[in-house]
Amino acid sequence: MKNDFPVFNPRNGFSVSVKKLREEPLRIAYIGGSNTVGKEGWRPRMHQWFNDTFPTTQPHEEINLSIGAIGSLAASFILPQNLTGTKPDVAFVEYTLNDLNWMTWEGGYFGNELQSAVTTSSSVEGIVRMILRENPACDIFFVHMPTLGQMEGTSPLASNAMCEYEPVADHYGIPSLFIAQGLRDLEANGVLQPSDYKEKLFNDDARLAPEGLDLMMEMFQSALKGLFAEATDERTLPAPLNAITTVDARPVPVEPWMIEGPFTQERFKNSRFDLPYLSLAPGSRLSVEYCGIPVGINSAFGPDTPGSYQASVDGRKVDLNLYTAYCVKPHLGSIILNKDLSRTVERARLTCEALPELPDYSQFPECTPVSIDDLRLNITHLMLLGDVLRP
């Protein structure tokens, strides 16, 4: 597959949002992982740039739909209820880096298998079609964040995830920004030195430092000024690229009848979310029959949710160790049990339980140990392309 992508590919450009910008503020959606969530990251810089560069009678509206530690597959089941009613004029989509994790790493909260290329393509296309279902005139932009490994040559410059995004972008005429290639070009021109990546431009393997974000924003601003300089023709929605997409993914609320063993009903609350969930004690388990394609469980992680989890999907055992740094403070996340969207069945059973086992705290010195009684499996929704079958 082609992997010599340009820094910026305008494709079909922007259409309706360019015309609207001349008269009123835009509704701008930011859809991505932790790089998009970050208060010191590119999202707040980008939104400030819109307000400074294109002032209108009112500030442009920011629609922050980002959640850390999930990729496009899990996002497909979280976006529907959060996207509904927002009607964005522009949507930035940034999941390439997280999908790279799901496609290349196994174990832990990433699950026991690699996410297939077709699943990545199908999930990204599903998100695109969700956005266009919410507003058929929305202009979409793909943001491909870099990793330190890409820049230091320990992984391909164009990741396997990005190689699935770009054909989707071609199919829908979506502009995209390949930041790693932009940094490599600066290095080739003598603006950057190879040592700058670790010393100046990255905070860690997956997040840019302020100097790296400055360079990224220069690329972004150059690309967007061109897109907003002239409106293009309005586009029609093409037929799907993939036989299966996640466009109709929906979060299935977990209900008490699905639980075997003791549980409590709780709520996850922060500045952006207010969700009910069922909190299962060690040894209790979710158990449901279903038809269709199972993906996993949306969960509320936090200090009370470290430990090991065991699941079974259509008789296939899945073990997960979810005690990671992501559990230090409460956040929404996902337990991915199946990364292959071709696994459709007419009737099968899904179970998942928190095992009554303490993790090895010596591996996680930043975390405060808890007792076995405090280990929890907190389930907000099921991720299922299909239906739960009631007994």
Q: Smallest Cα–Cα separation from 143: which of 180, 97, 177, 182? A: 177
Does residue 1 carry a pLDDT above 60? no
List, for residues 167-208, the tens digit of each pLDDT value: 999 999 999 999 999 999 999 999 999 999 999 999 999 999
Q: 327: pLDDT confidence band, cut at 50, 70 and 90? A: low
Residue with tokens 């976006």: 79
How far, in Å, are 113, 129, 349, 353, 372 from residue 317 at the CA level? 11, 33, 12, 12, 23
d(CA 149, CA 97): 11
Q: Are 28 and 47 spatial neighbours (Cβ–Cβ below 8 Å)? A: yes
Query: What does the chain come to in residues?
Result: 391
Q: Which domains does the chain have, with CATH numbers?
A: 8-227 (3.40.50.1110), 251-389 (2.60.120.260)
Q: Mean per-residue pLDDT for 146-158?
A: 95
d(CA 216, CA 65): 21
Collapsed DSSP state (helix, strand, coil) of residue 296: strand
Q: Smallest Cα–Cα separation from 177: which of 1, 36, 11, 40? A: 11
Chain center to CA of 370: 29
pTM of the complete model? 0.93
Q: Mean per-residue pLDDT for 66-71?
A: 88
**Residue 370 has what pLDDT?**
75
> Is 75 exposed, middle or buried (CB count within 10 Å of its CB: 0-12, 13-18, 19+)?
buried
**Residue 282 has what pLDDT?**
86
Q: Smallest Cα–Cα separation from 66: which of 111, 30, 102? A: 30
**Count of CB atoms within 10 A of residue 252's CB?**
19
d(CA 325, CA 86): 32
**Count of CB atoms within 10 A of residue 121's CB?**
24
> Which residues does 251 contact at the CB level (< 8 Å), separation at least 6?
77, 78, 80, 81, 298, 380, 381, 382, 383
Beta strand 377-389 with 345-354 is unpaired
373 or 138, greater pLDDT: 138
List, for residues 213-241, the tens digit of each pLDDT value: 999 999 999 999 999 988 888 889 999 99
List, for residues 243-300, the tens digit of each pLDDT value: 999 999 999 999 999 999 999 999 988 777 888 999 998 889 999 999 999 999 998 8
d(CA 305, CA 327): 7
Q: 305: pLDDT confidence band, cut at 50, 70 and 90? A: low
Q: Mean per-residue pLDDT for 69-88?
A: 92
Phi, psi torsion values for 32, nearest 5 degrees: -175, -165
Q: 362: pLDDT confidence band, cut at 50, 70 and 90? A: confident
**Residue 243 has what pLDDT?**
94
Question: Position 237: which residue type?
Answer: L
On average, the pLDDT of the chain sits at 90
> Which residues does 264 contact at the CB level (< 8 Å), separation at least 6?
278, 279
164 or 366, greater pLDDT: 164
Q: 2: pLDDT confidence band, cut at 50, 70 and 90? A: low
**Residue 110 has what pLDDT?**
62
Radius of gyration of the chain (CA): 21
Q: Smallest Cα–Cα separation from 50: which of 38, 40, 37, 63? A: 63
